[in-house]
Amino acid sequence: MTASTPQAQKPPAHVGMFQLLNGVFITGAIACLARLGIPDLVEHGPKTADELAAPTGADPRALYRLLRATASVGVLSESPDGKFSETPLSAVLRSNANPSLRAFAIMHGLDWHGLGWSNLEYCVRTGKPALDKIYGMPIFQFFEQRPEDGKLFNQAMSDLSTIDSPAAADAYSFGEIHSIVDVGGGHGLLLATILARNPHLKGTLYDMPHVVEGAKNGPLKPVMDRCTLASGDMFSSVPASADAYIMKHIIHDWPDDVCIKILKACREAVNPGGKLLVVDNVIQAGNDFAPGKFLDLQMLIFPGGCERNEKQFRELFAASGWRLSRVIPTTVPESIVEGIPA
């Protein structure tokens, strides 16, 4: 008779709940660390809190407490002599990292972001975005009023695009496509990545005039001989006669009625037999954790959009003159939802 192995006991539920609730503390500490530029300062060697206090303009004792806390979750490492070193997690917060999540981390510590999440109950009760209630305007108008916040947001989105654009470009075969329009493509990183991998392809970057103006010296510069810059209102029209229309993290910004306007404009413009490519999260059924399930709440709170499951994409496409043909997974949480003219 063999002795039974004792089962490892699960911690009490309140312990797990404390860990979840502490998430907001960790986020705040990491945002502060990024804003102070600490990861940049320890790139070339360990430093004490006293050594880091002067270049950051921080109180040495208070700074030590921040460093100790972030080191406890692997963002920095403290040695017995009180010096703090870079770790893989702190390295991605450097301004020169590739990819860099510094702007994304800083954004999570800003007032508008915190106020938005503190009004989640309002959003859940009403289905309305938080910033309309807090500031009396939608988020993209808010960024026009506070250009520094808008600049940081745009930098954070561009940095995220360095992760998901290559994944999308690698996951899809563009061999039969000869012309593509990136709708709401920002400064063109996704389009530049696709064009670089597909020398036969010609592209058009389409966004608001001030955004397109900022794209002229951006990622598209090496492929400008195969690229056109165009500006306008994607809710009413898009550049005509392309084989494919792609949009990444655009559809999730908006409720269905607004998305239908964008997708109908693409349907009217597309060449016969062309494609619609929507790069977004596709939410799966079940209780497994997925970043998209919380990004969905972010969309509820700020722009008023949502993440969708395959059925919701299928219905959205059908209402816009498209038929969902397949969902293509990538190496990141986003998938490519492909549509063909119905």
| Residues 163 and 49 both lie in one domain | no
Other C-beta atoms lying within 10 Å of the C-beta of residue 246: 28
Query: Do the Cβ atoms of 332 and 318 come closer than 8 Å?
Result: no
pLDDT confidence of residue 8? 73
| Residues 86 and 194 both lie in one domain | no
pLDDT confidence of residue 156? 95
Does residue 5 form part of some domain?
no
Does residue 225 form part of some domain?
yes
Closest CA to 281 of 127, 168, 131: 168
pLDDT confidence of residue 3? 56
pLDDT confidence of residue 131? 97
Give the chain's length.
Answer: 342
CATH number of the domain where residue 180 is located? 3.40.50.150
3-state secondary structure of 58: coil
Is 287 buried (19+), middle (13-18) or exposed (0-12) by CB count in 10 A? exposed
Q: How many domains does the chain have?
A: 2
Domain limits at 244? Answer: 155-341
Measured distance CA(156)–CA(35) in Å, rounded = 13
Radius of gyration of the chain (CA): 23
Measured distance CA(334)–CA(249) in Å, rounded = 9
| Residues 201 and 296 both lie in one domain | yes
| Residues 302 and 194 both lie in one domain | yes
Does residue 123 form part of some domain?
no
Query: Do the Cβ atoms of 131 and 145 come closer than 8 Å?
Result: no
Does residue 259 form part of some domain?
yes
Measured distance CA(22)–CA(72) in Å, rounded = 13
Which of 77, 96, 115 is the C-terminal boundary of a domain?
96
Which of 96, 114, 129 is the C-terminal boundary of a domain?
96
The pTM of the full predicted model, rounded to 2 decimals, is 0.93
Going 211 to 213 to 218 to 220, the CA torsion angle's sign is: positive
| Residues 311 and 208 both lie in one domain | yes
Q: Which residues contact 47 (CB under 8 A, 6 or more apart)?
A: 41, 83, 84
**From edge to edge, which strands make up the β-sheet containing 47-48?**
47-48, 83-85, 77-78
| Residues 196 and 328 both lie in one domain | yes
pLDDT confidence of residue 216? 85
Active site residues: 252
Angle made by CA atoms 124, 291, 135, in degrees to the nearest 5: 40
Does residue 203 form part of some domain?
yes
User: Per the structure block, which two tokens stand in for 112?
Assistant: 């508008």
pLDDT confidence of residue 4? 57
pLDDT in tens, the chain (342 residues): 555 566 678 889 999 999 999 999 999 999 999 999 999 999 999 999 999 999 999 999 999 999 999 999 999 999 999 999 999 999 999 999 999 999 999 999 999 999 999 999 999 999 999 999 999 999 999 999 999 999 999 899 999 999 999 999 999 999 999 999 999 999 999 999 999 999 999 999 999 998 898 888 899 999 999 999 999 999 999 999 999 999 999 999 999 999 999 999 999 999 999 999 999 999 999 999 999 999 999 999 999 999 999 999 999 999 999 999 999 999 999 999 999 999
Which of 71, 96, 121 is the C-terminal boundary of a domain?
96
Does residue 1 form part of some domain?
no
User: Per the structure block, which two tokens stand in for 121?
Assistant: 């109950």
Measured distance CA(150)–CA(107) in Å, rounded = 10
Does residue 112 form part of some domain?
no
Does residue 214 form part of some domain?
yes
Which amino acid is located at 78 in the chain? E
CATH number of the domain where residue 62 is located? 1.10.10.10
| Residues 81 and 176 both lie in one domain | no
